[in-house]
Structure 1
Amino acid sequence: MSSMIKKTIFNTFIGAFLCSIPFSGIAQSNDTKELNAASNVKNEDKIPVDPNVKIGKLKNGLTYYIRNNGKPEDKVELRLVVNAGSILEDDNQLGLAHFMEHMNFNGTKNFKKNDLVDYLQTIGVKFGADLNAYTSFDQTVYILPIPSDDPEKLEKGFQIIEDWAHNAELTEEAIDGERGVVLEEYRLGKGANERMLQEYLPIIAYNSRYSERLPIGTKKILENFKYEDVRSFYKDWYRPDLMSVVAVGDLDVATLEQKIKDHFSGIQMPSNPKKRETYDTPNHKETLIAVVSDKEASNSVVRLMYKDREVSEPMTTVGDYRKAIVERVFTQMMNSRLNELRNKPNPPFVFAGSSHSGIFARNREAYQSFALTSETGQLNALKTILQENKRVQKYGFKSSELDRAKKEISANWEKQFKDKDKRESARIIGEYINNYLEQEPIPGIEWEYQYTMSQLPTITLEEVNGLIKDFLHDDNRAVIMTGPEKEGLKQVTKEEILSLLKEVETSEIEDYKDEKVRENLIEKMPTPGKIVSSKKDEKLGVTVLELGNGAKITYKKTDFKNDEILFSAYSYGGSSLFSLEDHNQVTFGLGSITQTGLGGLSLNDMSKVMAGKIARVRPYINNLSEGFNGSATPKDLEILFQQIHLYFTSLNKDEKAFRSDQAKTKGFLANYLSNPQSYFREEFNKFQFGKNPRYTGFPTPEKLDAVNYELTYQKYKERFAGAGGFNFYFVGNIDESKLKQYAEKYIASLPDTGKDETYKTSNFRPLSGTHEKTVYKGKDPKSSVNIVWRGETAYDKSEKLAIEALGEILSIKLIEKLREEEGGVYGVGARGGMYKIGPSGGYSGYRFSISFPCGPENVKKLTDAAIAEVKKVINEGPTDKDLAKIKESRLLDYKEKSKQNSFWLSNLQNADYNQITIESEETYAETIKKLSKQDVQNIAKKYIDTGYILGVLMPEKK
């Protein structure tokens, strides 16, 4: 479970290279009648409800939503939605809405303490990853995915969510046992961000109840509340008229509806229910300012908010929906301008974005801007955002910007529409939850697509430009700055902010200039090469093409998604082939070297060329290899191939653009190690790997400044000098004839260097055996424990499975012992792995680890308890029940993941990279079934019955 704030301060809008056909051609590629029908609706018409969802209400007031959806197969997603959260707590109940969420997993009428989690694990449902819940200000949502092809499992699933609704036992013993777990979650949330939030929340949630009702509550009340306090919250607010059951999955609607009626019709409404109040955030005339700093703050952030004067009303009419489309167009254009600024020399921020979106309160929205800055750049970032707002207010946007925004939005909608029948149930179900809680419309993707596509051409510059006049105003304005506090760093003052607001308001400003760029990514097309051979593995459905220049292309055509092709590539070598001197001069520049643009186009130029196209390629150079990751729609696959070609042949040489990206990196990382957890990770890594001559540690500003750009560019060109030795992988809805055509044109045309390269293995071996490292950092009473076993060994497929299973089994036992029995942790996990080619040295080996956060006073006790669980498996082996849980979970995971493009892309590349075979579903299932308790016990004896490395984070000594 997690305490989660659903409403964010700012919904960031990160621009990406999105691709589609020119907007003017969209309408011609779709059903004209449907688009015409969508364009003929009137603004006052009500937004329809998706006919694919069945909505009903029981006599007791409970609302339900049901939809049949076959992806993934044999699975149904269940949600119990409670329209009650921390905002409804009395003063003596702070934190108990969230505490109640925890209690529903600690004993109900039909599932005694721990029985619920134990049962679900036996049917392959993992605690935390699958089974979960969250509490926010205004709602509590329980999450339960269950198999739908077994009537008994389905019945038990509905019995579980019924029990959550009204059958929690709330015994004194269970309540006291859970206090420790929730207090550990409370402890986990402490730190710089929480301390700063406590200071600026009263600015955002001015004079409102929201500023006093953070879901986690207070330590004093969590430690001392009376049993009746949590029982009272459950009795008052867990009732049918404040509940919804949502069921989406691979089962017929009638069966799901009957289950809901059977399990929830009998829940009685209280005779005198408390009124479910709604709470607002009052208006304020003055500009509210909060400048907050903390010694452990790792980032510098600027927020500018213009809170709406009026409460927001639910979107109910077609006119309301059209207004939302106009706002999206506005947001797209504004963020494109901000993104251009971040890509220029001396960028004013690391990242920035703006939107008209929700704040904490359900019924309030605001025009909000957000910027991540360098530690000295907050005022400049605020000035830049204010100036861009003013520029749009005075001059408006350009028609060329509007055209690009429409292309981007239409491309995204086209992709969603094409994949409408391939959406997973977990991605659909959120729409119905929001409809119940906030009356968000649910017309269905068909209507939304058709209506949006019919309206986009009619949206004018005047409409979009007019929005900012309503967004900007002197009242209800707030500025929040958060950042590090350290010696020599001058803090921004409120007076400086007020002065800046006035300065920008009265200053002159020039209009935006939209520089025109060429239309094509590649100016001169390459001369195609040849495919010299083609082989197909019929069983796996995989085809391998050999190209004339030595490159190899492996592809698998799937129907998992209609509008998705995933891509990756690798070649052995990487930075292992650099001399030690060269390695140390370029390591921290390899991430920025590709941020200079392609084929003479800067990043900003490329974003214009790529408007409306969905194709992304990202090169990388790591220790042992170099390659690419990417994706595209089938329509834009050629654009992806063009990018691949250009990254080999035409990466821009532009030191200014390179240094600009390095400046953003420095701004982001300058105070990263102020966070105690980040500092601990870095120190523990240094302890384990620091003697490696190639260990470079954390990228400090000094190390970034010392990067040799000329050498970095040279090394990039060396690693991507030709396609010989590269292995390319494509998975998705592939047109095979087109893929072969593009392969010959853009990859087979690349040179073959004639080198048969591989990586260089290292003689260095990281720390192993018995060692201990304690790091003192942070003022909060928080600790972290990492226990690591590692070593060199020959790779063995069966041992790999056994050590992975050992990690999964120990995770179950550690949750039972450290969380449920001791109440000493919020989360704990173990993980085992074996690799044939280690990521740093190129040798084969294994790694096993256990990690958890806890209180400093419990470090030794809980570490000893964790090691005792390890010893128990070594001496006795796992139980039949725990091994069966792992087997069931793995088989269900494989069944679901093997219907995903990402699964096949990863497995195809890993098989070649590690020179191993891919298992079919049948052989995988056989392997899992053969795994025995003795296999797991033997692997534990072989690899973790030896010394371990213990890393501990402790707070600073006072």
Structure 2
Amino acid sequence: MTTKRSKVFKTLFVCCLFLVFNANAQTKTPEKQTTGTVPSEVLPITPEVKIGKLSNGLTYYIQNNGKPEDKVELRLALKAGSIVETDDQVGLAHFMEHMNFNGTTNFKKNELVDYLQSIGVEFGADLNAYTGFDQTVYILPIPSDDPEKLDKGFQILQDWAGNALLTAEDIDDERGVVIEEYRTRLGARTRMQSKYLDKIAYKSKYANRLPIGTKENLETFKYESLRNFQKDWYRPNLMAVIAVGDLDVETLEKKIKENFSGLKNPQNEKPREEFYSENHEGTFVAIEWDEEATGSQIQIFYKDKGNPEKTKTVSDYRNDMVEGLFDQMINNRLAEYSNKPNPPFIYGFSYKGGIIGNKEAYQSFAQTNETGQLEGLKVLLEENERVKRYGFKASELERAKKDYLARLERQFKNKDKNESGRIVNSYIQHFLQERPIPGIEWTYNYAQSELPSIKLKEVNALISDFLHDDNRLVVLTGPKKDGLTKVTEKEVIDLLESVKKADIKDYEDEAVRDELMPVKPTKGSITKKEVNNEGQINETTTLTLSNGAKVTYKKTDFKNDEVLMEAFSYGGTSLYSTEELKQTASANGGLFEAGIDGIDKNEMAKMTSGKIVRVRPYIGGNDEGFRGSASPKDMEMMFQMIHLYFTKLDKDPEAFSSFISKQKAFLGNILSNPNISFSIALGEFTNEGNPRYTGFPDEEALDKANYDLAYEKYKERFANAGDFHFYFVGNVEDDKIAEYAETYIASLPSNGDNEMYKVHDFRPKSGSHEFTYNKGTEPKSQVRLTFSGEAQYDEKEARALSALGEILSIKLIEKLREEEGGVYGAGARGSMSKIPYGRYSFSISFPCGPDNAEKLAAASIAELEKIIKDGPTEVDLDKVKKALLLTRKENLEQNRFWLSAIKGADYNKSDLNNVVNYESNVNALTTKDIHNVAKKYLTNGYIKAVLMPEEE
């Protein structure tokens, strides 16, 4: 169970923010204005959903959706989270979420998880829940082809709605688990955030109601405090049941009415109060640093003075479109800075959206190097000021419109191919936040008709409302270390004032050429066409080209607007000398910061406006190749990019310099994070004596990165297209893929060679070793127990070893979490690999308190030894089999799965028919098979690695 915070952000990068703020639905501020006459009728609700309300106030949303087959996604959403807690209930909204998995009327302690595992529903991966400031949501996917399982699913949902037993014993047993979850969140970001959260949520209850709560209250709260929370807030008029899946609406509606009509609201119900932040005079500045901070960040909040209004009318929706275009354009400008030499930040972005509770703000964010915060802040401020003074260019708006529409077009084309798990969230947010659900058909058609009418002056006018000198907050966070001077509040205030008076020039939007490849290459030819596994689900077509390259593709109808691509050729850096490897290891990633055929990254972003296409080459340890994707209509550009990466990758020292600067900024203080530092140190320990181990790229390694050599080796690795194999999966057409293959791949140079990777002599440590690493000030530990070594690859053993990992994960949760209360999560994983040599690996890992590390490590090994001695139980193996088969059933409808399977069969020289035979192979697994691999591979010692806090 996770404690998530809902976010409604409009940029790709906002996931990097740590702030645990709830965003509101797409909103418009009261003062926002639009020009022209715009319809103001109420937004429609998609006809795909049936919305109803029971007499007790419970709302329900139902949609029939056949993807994936035989599965329905159930959700229980509650309009109550940590914000409604009283002082004695801090953290109990989240604790209550946990208790719903630990004893209810129909499922006594641990029976719920055990039952769901028995039908293939995995705890954590499928079955889950999350708590935020204003909501709690329970997640339950359930098979829909079995009436008994469906009935049980709704019974579980009904129990969650108010039938948790909340016995004193069960509550006390769960305290340790929740405290361990609390422990996982400790660290530099939490410490810094605690010092400025009250400035974001100014004079608001939100500042004191982080959903995880406080350790003190989690340890000491009274039973009645939790029971009162359930009684007050788990009531039907604050709830919604959402059911989306492969079942008719009438059946689902009947199940909801049968299970939830009998729920009653309390007689003297507490009002569900809304909470707000207050406005403040002037600018707040928060500057925090910490010894364990991994990076330097800047955040600027121009907080709205009014509370946001919901998006309810067509006019409101149009306003949101205008804001979306604004976001796109400002972020296009900021992205250009990241690609400049000595960039002011690793990345930067701005957007208008929610921050916490009922508050929105125009926000600008950047991550910089540890000495570049003021410079990064200056650039963000100047770009906002530049837009305020001069506005955007017409050409920028046209590109933004193309991108906006292209994204909607992809959604529209795939509208009948959406998985139920993707659909259900929109209804959750409609209930919790009144976010509009007009449906993609209406949205796409409206955007097509209305986007042309949006004028530049409308978008330009927004920033005057966004920017203001009061109700403003600037937050700087970063590492505290010797030799580093902390930015002062005066420096920030002075910079804010100076930018308003600065001489800032208008933005110049340089034109780019119309076509990526104005002159097409001389075509090659297809010398052979083969249909593989004709008539089976794993049918593919392979084209052999005149230069020796091969193209294998699989036509699917899983998505109407998706084509995925990968390619490989054996070799990679295994063919580099040790010295070449060391000189290029930190440089290879920077090769692709340069453009192709004279078109740099910023120009490429402009050229691909309105297109869905990406291609990225790579050089790996044992191979080199490509990864990419495109809309079917943009496939030709994807092929063109492949061709140019082979023949015309630019050599751009300035772009490489920008890459090194960003790498230094990103990696410079990352070792201060205990977990990351532990992983790096463990890698060095297991690779001790490896002459080819390059490890973590520190500043010295980055300074020594040899761009010239890396570029020459790249040309060498991609000089021969004849030993590459390309794979395409998705909505492809035979004639198109043949034409593009002949034009852009068969025309590539080839020398007739077929290289193979080189297997070097070194092998990582295996057997019995102990490694203890001290890092960090918080009482947090990490335990990793690893069994590994050389082995002849065997498909049946690989399957059994992987299943053993899943079985042991079940036992670890039962023992370490449910019985000991010593971990929040624990898991095991087993695998075998062929390349570059036969090898097995089996690992156990979990976070815990330092005082419990040794005890829980011993308990983990004891659980494993039970399996080594007696084998697993049939019950546990059956749970794993059902989960594997359910997952595979869904994977068979995914382009990504098929791309991986088809390429993987060739790469590993295995049989693609294993996909066809998967069900029979899984069903054939026996407890004896698991027992045998446990005895064979897990009795020769293990590496015990433990992260412990620094000793005082």
Percent of matched pairs sharing the same residue: 58
1:188 is the counterpart of 2:187 = no
Q: Which residue of 1 aligns with 2:386?
A: 391
C-alpha distance 914-920 of structure 1, shift in aligned 2 (>3 A): closer
Q: Which residue of 2 aligns with 1:780?
A: 778
Q: Which residue of 1 aligns with 2:29?
A: none
Question: Does structure 1 retain, via aligned residues, the 8 Å contact 2:303–2:359?
Answer: yes
Structure 2 counterparts to residues 502-581 of structure 1, below 5 A: 502-537=497-532, 538=534, 539=536, 540-581=538-579
Task: Give 1:733 deviation, angstroms.
Answer: 0.4
Once the two structures are superposed, residues 748-771 of structure 1 have per-residue CA deviations (whole angstroms, 9 ceiling, x without a partner) of: 000102222111101000000000
Structure 2 CA distance, aligned partners of 1:810 and 1:146?
A: 24
**SS of corresponding position for 2:772:** strand
Q: Which amino acid aligns with 2:12?
A: F
Once the two structures are superposed, residues 7-38 of structure 1 have per-residue CA deviations (whole angstroms, 9 ceiling, x without a partner) of: 47x6543599xxxxxxxxxxxxxxxxxxxxxx
Q: Which amino acid aligns with 2:476?
A: M
Tell me which stretches of 4 or more aligned residues in structure 1 moved more than 6 Å.
Answer: none
Q: Which residue of 1 aligns with 2:256?
A: 260
Q: Which residue of 2 aligns with 1:836?
A: 834
Q: Which residue of 2 aligns with 1:147?
A: 143
Structure 2 CA distance, aligned partners of 1:690 and 1:118?
A: 43
Q: Which residue of 2 aligns with 1:35?
A: none
Task: Give 1:41 deviation, angstroms.
Answer: 11
Q: Which residue of 2 aligns with 1:202?
A: 198
Which structure 1 residue ranges, 5 or more long, are not aligned? 17-39
Structure 2 counterparts to residues 408-419 of structure 1, below 5 A: 408-419=403-414
1:900 aligned residue (881, 885, 894): 894
Structure 2 CA distance, aligned partners of 1:756 and 1:78?
A: 52
Q: Which residue of 2 aligns with 1:457?
A: 452
Task: Give 1:507 deviation, angstroms.
Answer: 1.2
Task: Give 1:908 deviation, angstroms.
Answer: 0.6
Structure 2 CA distance, aligned partners of 1:279 and 1:43?
A: 32
Structure 2 CA distance, aligned partners of 1:739 and 1:691?
A: 48
C-alpha distance 393-207 of structure 1, shift in aligned 2 (>3 A): same
Structure 2 counterparts to residues 709-858 of structure 1, below 5 A: 709-837=707-835, 842-858=836-852
Q: Which amino acid aligns with 2:101?
A: F
Task: Give 1:453 deviation, angstroms.
Answer: 1.3
Structure 2 CA distance, aligned partners of 1:953 and 1:41?
A: 63
1:235 is the counterpart of 2:231 = yes
Structure 2 counterparts to residues 603-642 of structure 1, below 5 A: 603-642=601-640
Q: Which residue of 1 aligns with 2:12?
A: 13
**SS of corresponding position for 2:739:** helix
Structure 2 CA distance, aligned partners of 1:849 and 1:589?
A: 31
Structure 2 CA distance, aligned partners of 1:115 and 1:781?
A: 32
Question: Does structure 2 retain, via aligned residues, the 8 Å contact 1:13–1:335?
Answer: no
Question: Does structure 2 retain, via aligned residues, the 8 Å contact 1:15–1:339?
Answer: no
1:924 is the counterpart of 2:923 = no
Task: Give 1:924 deviation, angstroms.
Answer: 1.2
Q: Which residue of 2 aligns with 1:29?
A: none
Once the two structures are superposed, residues 367-426 of structure 1 have per-residue CA deviations (whole angstroms, 9 ceiling, x without a partner) of: 001101111111111100100001000000001101110111111111110000001111
1:86 aligned residue (44, 63, 82): 82
Q: Which amino acid aligns with 1:725?
A: D
Structure 1 CA distance, aligned partners of 2:518 and 2:703?
A: 34
Question: Does structure 1 retain, via aligned residues, the 8 Å contact 2:10–2:324?
Answer: no
1:434 is the counterpart of 2:429 = yes
Structure 1 CA distance, aligned partners of 2:154 and 2:811?
A: 27
Structure 2 CA distance, aligned partners of 1:529 and 1:919?
A: 32
Question: Does structure 2 retain, via aligned residues, the 8 Å contact 1:7–1:360?
Answer: no
Paired positions, count? 930
C-alpha distance 452-676 of structure 1, shift in aligned 2 (>3 A): same
1:705 aligned residue (703, 706, 709): 703
Structure 2 CA distance, aligned partners of 1:14 and 1:738?
A: 35
Question: Does structure 2 retain, via aligned residues, the 8 Å contact 1:185–1:826?
Answer: yes
Question: Does structure 2 retain, via aligned residues, the 8 Å contact 1:531–1:547?
Answer: yes
Q: Which residue of 2 aligns with 1:479?
A: 474
Structure 2 CA distance, aligned partners of 1:531 and 1:419?
A: 32
Question: Does structure 2 retain, via aligned residues, the 8 Å contact 1:13–1:355?
Answer: no
Structure 1 CA distance, aligned partners of 2:289 and 2:308?
A: 32
Structure 2 counterparts to residues 559-708 of structure 1, below 5 A: 559-708=557-706
**SS of corresponding position for 1:850:** strand
Q: Which residue of 1 aligns with 2:221?
A: 225
**SS of corresponding position for 2:564:** strand
Once the two structures are superposed, residues 496-518 of structure 1 have per-residue CA deviations (whole angstroms, 9 ceiling, x without a partner) of: 00000000011121000011111
2:420 aligned residue (420, 425, 428): 425
Once the two structures are superposed, residues 762-814 of structure 1 have per-residue CA deviations (whole angstroms, 9 ceiling, x without a partner) of: 10000000000000000001000000000101110000000000000000000
Structure 2 counterparts to residues 315-326 of structure 1, below 5 A: 315-326=311-322
**SS of corresponding position for 1:71:** coil
C-alpha distance 859-573 of structure 1, shift in aligned 2 (>3 A): same
Structure 1 CA distance, aligned partners of 2:688 and 2:178?
A: 37
C-alpha distance 378-11 of structure 1, shift in aligned 2 (>3 A): farther
Structure 2 CA distance, aligned partners of 1:808 and 1:297?
A: 35
1:371 is the counterpart of 2:363 = no
Q: Which residue of 1 aligns with 2:943?
A: 949
Task: Give 1:68 deviation, angstroms.
Answer: 0.5
Structure 2 CA distance, aligned partners of 1:714 and 1:690?
A: 30
Once the two structures are superposed, residues 827-853 of structure 1 have per-residue CA deviations (whole angstroms, 9 ceiling, x without a partner) of: 00000000111xxxx111100000000
Structure 1 CA distance, aligned partners of 2:907 and 2:694?
A: 25
2:119 aligned residue (115, 118, 123): 123
2:59 aligned residue (51, 58, 63): 63
Question: Does structure 1 retain, via aligned residues, the 8 Å contact 2:547–2:746?
Answer: yes
C-alpha distance 41-161 of structure 1, shift in aligned 2 (>3 A): farther
Question: Does structure 1 retain, via aligned residues, the 8 Å contact 2:126–2:140?
Answer: yes
C-alpha distance 347-922 of structure 1, shift in aligned 2 (>3 A): closer
Task: Give 1:42 deviation, angstroms.
Answer: 5.3
Question: Does structure 1 retain, via aligned residues, the 8 Å contact 2:11–2:327?
Answer: no
Once the two structures are superposed, residues 27-79 of structure 1 have per-residue CA deviations (whole angstroms, 9 ceiling, x without a partner) of: xxxxxxxxxxxxx9952200011111000000001000000111111100000
1:887 is the counterpart of 2:886 = no
1:359 is the counterpart of 2:355 = yes
Q: Which amino acid aligns with 2:613?
A: A
1:245 is the counterpart of 2:260 = no
Q: Which amino acid aligns with 1:868?
A: A
Structure 2 CA distance, aligned partners of 1:894 and 1:705?
A: 46
Question: Does structure 2 retain, via aligned residues, the 8 Å contact 1:13–1:354?
Answer: no
Question: Does structure 2 retain, via aligned residues, the 8 Å contact 1:41–1:318?
Answer: no
Structure 1 CA distance, aligned partners of 2:314 and 2:178?
A: 45
TM-score (norm 1): 0.96
Once the two structures are superposed, residues 444-498 of structure 1 have per-residue CA deviations (whole angstroms, 9 ceiling, x without a partner) of: 1111111111111111100000000110011111000111000001111111000
Q: Which residue of 2 aligns with 1:33?
A: none
Question: Does structure 2 retain, via aligned residues, the 8 Å contact 1:349–1:664?
Answer: yes
**SS of corresponding position for 2:289:** strand
Structure 2 counterparts to residues 861-880 of structure 1, below 5 A: 861-880=855-874
TM-score (norm 2): 0.97
Which structure 2 residue ranges, 5 or more long, are not aligned? 16-35
Q: Which residue of 1 aligns with 2:934?
A: 940
**SS of corresponding position for 1:592:** helix
**SS of corresponding position for 1:593:** helix
Q: Which amino acid aligns with 1:700?
A: D
Deviates most, 624-633 or 686-695: 686-695
Q: Which amino acid aligns with 1:805?
A: A
C-alpha distance 15-293 of structure 1, shift in aligned 2 (>3 A): closer
